[in-house]
Amino acid sequence: MIPAAFEYQRPASLDEALKAISAAGGDAKFLAGGQSLLPLLKLRLASADTLIDIGRLSELKGLGPTSDGGYEMGALATYAEVLEATPLAWTAEGVEQIGDVQVRNRGTIGGSIAHCDPASDVPAMGLALDYSVVLRSARGERVVPLDGFFVGPFQTQLAPDELIVKLRRGPMPAGTAGAYRKLAQRASGYSIVGVAAVVGMSDGAITHARVALTGVGEVPYRAKGVEQALLGSDGSTSAVAAAAAHATDGQTVNGDIHADREYRTQMAAVYTRRAIEGALGR
């Protein structure tokens, strides 16, 4: 299908882009990699009065470690660039499961976070790693933790005139490791269930636990019941299984043509256990 008519702008700088979205009003949208937005426009499941193309803004590119031992990624960092640069092997393994080569070459980290697809992989990994988003508009800049940023399917705390400029996390806690485990829908590669886990142990007990799921509820979320059950435990098979049973606590589990609610609930526990065991090295 052909999308509805829209105006197109390609600003030369970040400041110009922010001024353009502020001036456009109405239903203006930023265009980055276009891997989600353009298909929706073509199918007329979304519309835009104006597309503001930010795909060539160098100010939004780049990624690497920060001076405090953390990590930072420009919003236009592509999946392929993350694969090449990330110091965490498990995140590379997770990113490799996103789409195909063409999607990974064009799709951007900031675009995935802003789009907030309930089955997207990147938000779960970002939640498990305690990332925050840096948001900017003509009114100024603010930093929002990813935990709480997703408020509904395809809905975030992002204001209409704001843009994600980067993602940032602090240093990894000592002794932590991570894993991403995913039950994928074969045709699309989207997660029926995807689980990211970052776990750390000291003196025989788990001292750090971040577990996040995607594909299960209305938005990617931290499974805080799992985290609380893990903390202080010995990380044994039985302790991990007991903690994983809390994977869907407080969630309205999705049911669709790929997996009904009961099956997805069971798989959430299974893949949560697998992710935790992967992070613990088993």
Range of the domain at 28: 7-53
Does residue 127 form part of some domain?
yes
Per residue in 236-269, pLDDT (tens digit) is: 999 999 999 999 999 999 999 999 999 999 999 9
Q: How confident is the model at residue 51 (pLDDT cuts 50, 70, 90)?
A: confident
Average pLDDT over residues 207-235: 98
- What pLDDT score was predicted for residue 1? 67
| Domains of the chain: total | 3
Beta bridge partners, 155, equal 152
Quote the Cα angle for 212-69-132, to 5°: 40
CA distance 243 to 236: 11
Q: Is there a single domain that holds both residue 83 and residue 48?
A: no
CATH number of the domain to which 87 belongs: 3.30.465.10
Instruction: Give the domain-ending residue among 169, 187, 221.
Output: 169
Of the candidates 94, 242, 117, which has an alpha carbon nearest to the alpha carbon of residue 182?
94
The torsion angles phi and psi of 189, rounded to 5 degrees, stand at: 85, -5
CA distance 184 to 115: 19
The answer to whether residue 43 scores a pLDDT higher than 80 is no
Q: Is there a single domain that holds both residue 71 and residue 158?
A: yes
CA distances from 114 to 20, 33, 41, 69, 196 (A): 18, 12, 16, 25, 19
The answer to whether residue 136 scores a pLDDT higher than 70 is yes
CATH number of the domain to which 40 belongs: 3.30.43.10
Q: How confident is the model at residue 187 (pLDDT cuts 50, 70, 90)?
A: confident
The answer to whether residue 36 scores a pLDDT higher than 90 is no
Q: Is there a single domain that holds both residue 131 and residue 192?
A: no
Q: Is there a single domain that holds both residue 49 and residue 67?
A: no
Does residue 205 form part of some domain?
yes
Does residue 113 form part of some domain?
yes
Q: Is there a single domain that holds both residue 91 and residue 154?
A: yes
Q: Is there a single domain that holds both residue 161 and residue 180?
A: no
Q: Is there a single domain that holds both residue 250 and residue 195?
A: yes
Average pLDDT over residues 83-97: 95
Does residue 58 form part of some domain?
no
Does residue 2 form part of some domain?
no
Q: Is there a single domain that holds both residue 44 and residue 85?
A: no
The answer to whether residue 80 scores a pLDDT higher than 90 is yes
Q: Is there a single domain that holds both residue 204 and residue 151?
A: no
Does residue 235 form part of some domain?
yes
The percent of residues in the chain predicted with pLDDT above 70, rounded, is 99
- What pLDDT score was predicted for residue 243? 98
Three-class secondary structure of residue 69 per DSSP: coil
The answer to whether residue 114 scores a pLDDT higher than 70 is yes
Q: Is there a single domain that holds both residue 186 and residue 255?
A: yes
The answer to whether residue 3 scores a pLDDT higher than 90 is no
Q: Is there a single domain that holds both residue 98 and residue 162?
A: yes
Instruction: Give the domain-ending residue among 124, 143, 169.
Output: 169
- What pLDDT score was predicted for residue 6? 80
269 or 33, higher pLDDT: 269
pTM of the entire predicted model? 0.94
- What pLDDT score was predicted for residue 169? 98
The answer to whether residue 31 scores a pLDDT higher than 90 is no
168 or 46, higher pLDDT: 168
The answer to whether residue 45 scores a pLDDT higher than 80 is no
282 or 118, higher pLDDT: 118
Per residue in 56-72, pLDDT (tens digit) is: 999 999 999 999 999 99
Q: Is there a single domain that holds both residue 180 and residue 231?
A: yes
Instruction: Give the domain-ending residue among 169, 202, 232.
Output: 169
Residue linked to tokens 């990813």 = 146
CATH number of the domain to which 266 belongs: 3.30.390.50
- What pLDDT score was predicted for residue 38? 77
Tokens found for residue 165? 């400029």
Does residue 1 form part of some domain?
no
